[in-house]
Chain A
Amino acid sequence: MRKLSFNRSKYGALAGLIGLGALLSILSPSFLTLSNIMNVLNQVSLNGLVAIGMTFVILSGGIDLSVGSILALSGAVLASMLKGGMPQIIAILIALVMSAVFGLLNGVFIATFNLQPFIVTMAFMTIFRGSTFVFTQGRPITGLGKQGIFVAAGRGDIAGVPWSGILLLACLIITAFLLARTVYGKTIYAIGGNPEAARLSGLPVKTARASVYAVSGFFAGLAGMVLTSRLDSAQPLAGQSYELDAIAAVVLGGTSLSGGRGFMVGTLIGAFIIGILNNGLNLLEVSSFYQQIVKGAVILLAVLLDRRK
């Protein structure tokens, strides 16, 4: 029964995370320390935020390759607004709305003209990256401020817990609820499962399909804000290949790339698996060249174990 395999992939990912954590805490004494765990949380928050948006897209049966570029572009726009002296809260809101609109552009092309998500978002990945270069003239934008909500987003903490981690968990709870308990969430699953059956059941297929890319863009913008804050600068090359880490997190979390099947909590677990893998390999002083090989192998192993008959 599929219901069981649903749970198996959910618990499978969790078991993988726990197993990996246990292994790393044996191998490295500094892994299981409070400061390192907070460090991991801080590191995971970026990929985690992007992956939350990606989960919406993948559940609907699509894919979004443009998130890294949206992250960079919105980060650059945010940085220039801050530098121009705009109040932080307003600048952040504008940047987030803009990111959602960028994402929606993907969605409009995909839903209205019925184009392949892979191609459309790849085109916008290039367009937004190019726009970032044009906007920044290829140079980082630096010197963005010393305090306030913007600074806290990437660098601040409360009682040792990074604000970015709290932001991630808050977003997770909201989106998990949205997917499981709203008509909008059910519609996304339905589109991923069978778009024609969804349409003939009176569900708003086109709108929902376009909207998931706006959601994805929004979360890329949120990650862009965190990254810009953390680096205290907007880099034109920021967020490159983030889309791949986000897709990996979603898939490791047990969500099916063909859509319709998966859970938000799984995505968070997937993001943590990638995060502690990076962190653990660093602690073990594995060269970054080998790290990539290990990461790829883990993803391969995970999908192999989770394979459905």
Chain B
Amino acid sequence: MDGIRLEMRGIKKSFGPVVVLKDMKLDIEPAEIHALVGENGAGKSTLMKILGGVIQKDAGEIRINGQPVEIRRVRDAERYGIAVIHQELSILPYLSIAENVFLGKELKTRLGLVDARRMHIEVAEKLKELGLAVNPDMPAGSLSVGQMQLVEIAKALIHRAKLIVMDEPTSALTDHEIEKLFGIIRSLKTKGVSFIYISHRLEELFSICDRLTVLRDGEYIGTANVRDLSFNQVVSMMVGREIGDRFPRKDTAPGETILQVNNLGRGKAFRNVSFSVRKGEIFGIAGLMGAGRTELVRALFGAEPAETGTIQLKGKNVSITSPLDAMNLGMGLVTEDRKAEGLFLDFSIEFNIAAANFDHLAKAGFVHPATIRDFAEQFTQSLRIKTPSVDVPVSNLSGGNQQKAVVAKWLGRSPEILVLDEPTRGVDVGAKREIYEIMTKLAAQGVAIIMVSSELPEVVGMSDRVLVMRQGEQAGILEENITQERIMALATGVVYT
């Protein structure tokens, strides 16, 4: 199979007065895995939407194998062999896998009817090639996210894509699935397929990509071979300045034990988990996707209360059956999915920060607007949430600033224990550092921090101790000499050598 060579030159795009891309360029060679990196809002997805025919460029030129082309619709992009796999997968859960793959391009029999048999065969063949052993007639919704990714790739290949754009493909995958995906990407590369790879997890780029192109504020910053660059060089290209060490130093030592959990369990989600957390400690919880980490911390917070086991706070048994119970005991929870569970997206920053604080801000059930505003402004300033005013809807903020707004909501209650589930998911490199600093500062003030994270460097860099979960059970607690390898060994039950 012949690959394609893509050149994008002088691409410009504005939405109203906002210039999103100014003079962007991008070159992709045949059989190349090319990373596109930049902070949120740098213009990566706009550029990919132009390439995919979702939106139109204002100016510039796209060439494929040297020929200028116009991509006006998604169909055009597909015709040139370009497939875009979006972060939110476009799988329809109630249709079968085969129907999903051929959606809108169904194979027909001579009578013009849908040829289910031929579609079944083609999809089965392609899935087998990709090492996915599932029946194409299964409803696509029964697949894991990792399997859905592979179905999307199969779909692209069946429609003869030679350049596949993958936007944050690994954000919801387990490490095992990621390895498998990378294997497939590498083997497709040997067959001439090129990839444009977008990810916030910079470590991945070093293991899978050949070259990278950096965007910043809609501008082309540069293209380079990945192996010529260090992690810090990539980051400083992205943010345009040195951000110093990736993780802030934590100077304070943890104090006395504040929380003691014994044999906690809930249904099949997790069981027999016991650990303690000390004041001023950052306690990491690691494990693969589905290991029961989120369920564990949600039980601690009373979102879905534990069914067995005991929780002791400062040596006393406590019962936590609702979020309000946990809040009254001095706990806060920054949820994993901030848009679905943490924020009122259409509401003002002010409302979002006040949401968990009405009980102590109100007098006899009445709230005073000025009190709420002062309260919200105090935290936008202390956490440096970048916004012209607290009236702005929180959906207008960047991921990092949104996350800070969620944290602010809990800081208003002066929590003694703050639980953060994936605190830096979907957050820019620069803002990540700020969130780490907030965590370190809180720990220094004596707040016990429980952090669930899928990013191993983050777990290793931030935690005083780490609880590792495996399939709903406690695989172990690492007290010292915490390394990614040791965490993975516990999380998978396999010792890598």
User: A: which residues have CB within 8 A of B?
Assistant: 1-3, 181-184, 186-187, 189-190, 193-194, 196-204, 260-261
Contact = CB atoms under 8 A, between A and B. Distances in A.
Nearest to B298: A200
A307 to B, nearest CB: 15
Contacts of B396: 1-2
B356 A260 contact: no
Nearest to B347: A193
A204 B323 CA distance: 10
Contacts of B395: 2
A76 to B, nearest CB: 35
A93 B356 CA distance: 36
A203 B346 contact: no
Given A182-B367, A201-B356, A202-B323, 17 more contacts: A2-B393, A2-B395, A2-B396, A3-B392, A181-B368, A183-B358, A186-B355, A187-B358, A194-B341, A194-B343, A197-B341, A197-B344, A197-B355, A198-B355, A199-B323, A201-B355, A202-B322
A196 B336 CA distance: 13
A186 B333 CA distance: 21
B351 interface: yes
B17 to A, nearest CB: 14
Contact of B323 (A187, A193, A200, A260): A200
Contacts of B393: 1-3
Interface in B304-334: 322-324, 327, 333
8 contacts: A3-B391, A182-B367, A190-B347, A190-B351, A197-B340, A199-B303, A200-B335, A261-B346
B409 A201 contact: yes
Interface residues of B, number: 35
The A interface, classified by DSSP as helix, strand, loop or mixed, is helix
Given A199-B323, A200-B333, A203-B355, A183 B365 contact: yes
A193 B344 contact: yes
B376 to A, nearest CB: 13
A1 B392 contact: yes
A189 B342 CA distance: 15
A1 B394 CA distance: 10
A67 to B, nearest CB: 26
A201 B392 contact: no
Given A202-B323, A203-B358, A186 B344 contact: no
Contacts of A261: 346
A181 B366 contact: yes
Contacts of A197: 340-344, 355
A186 B358 contact: yes
Contacts of A199: 303, 323
Given A183-B365, A200-B333, A203-B355, A2 B341 contact: no
Contacts of A203: 355, 358
